[in-house]
């Protein structure tokens, strides 16, 4: 059995005071039925790590270099020093707005794994690609590109989040059938590269307008092991409702 994994993604939201308030309201309600976590902005990481006792804390990005002339970037060691153990990589907004490539995400994943941290690697197609019937080719290419050269054991322990770009922040969500089929496709591509054992262990999330009233249905699917949640992770009550929905 793969343990469910539910992460919120705050994006560019919440000050340190707001992060503290969130954990004060939510942390005690997290159970061991799933790995519950939130990805928070760099500025709120230290506060969040110190406040979280039952909820995991992830960074929303990292640079692949250990140091250097990369103004505005943050290294793995900087994250590790303050106790961060998870990092979201290749989010659709990073790909869309900052032109991140599979190769860049792959380099980041390698250094995160080397540091003993866990990457949550995002893949997903745009609305144009979805409507053109290119979902499978796009997602398989992203999975293969971002995992290239990684050790099978490392892939077994990381997380892949299928996030269709057309469902991020739009209020639209993929049907249960689309989400399941594409998460199964993600797992199948892992199987093609790394074999059955790795494919059976890697956890695959669905992300895209997941809310308290629909998460249970997504989680009931064979190949959906969790969710990467945007707006619904910002409020104490909605995140508590999501925790309650995981049986």
As annotated, the active-site residues are 91, 163
Query: What whole-number distance in Å separates Cα of residue 66 and Cα of residue 52?
Result: 27
């Amino acid at each position: 059995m793969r343990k469910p994994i539910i992460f919120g993604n705050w994006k560019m939201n919440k000050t340190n005071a707001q992060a503290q308030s969130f954990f004060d309201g939510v942390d005690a309600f997290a159970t061991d039925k799933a790995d519950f976590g939130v990805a928070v902005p760099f500025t709120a990481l230290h506060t969040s790590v110190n406040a979280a006792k039952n909820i995991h804390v992830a960074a929303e990005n990292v640079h692949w270099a250990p140091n250097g002339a990369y103004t505005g970037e943050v290294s793995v060691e900087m994250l590790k020093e303050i106790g961060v153990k998870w990092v979201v990589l290749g989010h659709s907004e990073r790909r869309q707005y900052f032109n991140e490539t599979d190769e860049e995400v792959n380099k980041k994943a390698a250094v995160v794994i080397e540091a003993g941290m866990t990457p949550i690697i995002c893949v997903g197609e745009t609305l144009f690609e979805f409507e053109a019937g290119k979902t499978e080719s796009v997602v398989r290419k992203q999975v293969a590109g971002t995992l290239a050269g990684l050790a099978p054991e490392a892939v077994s322990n990381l997380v892949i989040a299928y996030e269709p770009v057309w469902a991020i922040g739009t209020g639209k969500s993929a049907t249960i059938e689309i989400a399941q089929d594409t998460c199964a496709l993600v797992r199948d591509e892992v199987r093609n590269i790394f074999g059955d054992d790795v494919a059976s262990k890697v956890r695959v999330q669905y992300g895209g307008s997941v809310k308290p009233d629909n998460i249970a249905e997504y989680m009931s699917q064979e190949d959906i092991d969790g969710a990467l949640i945007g707006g619904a992770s910002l409020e104490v009550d909605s995140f508590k409702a999501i925790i309650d929905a995981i049986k």
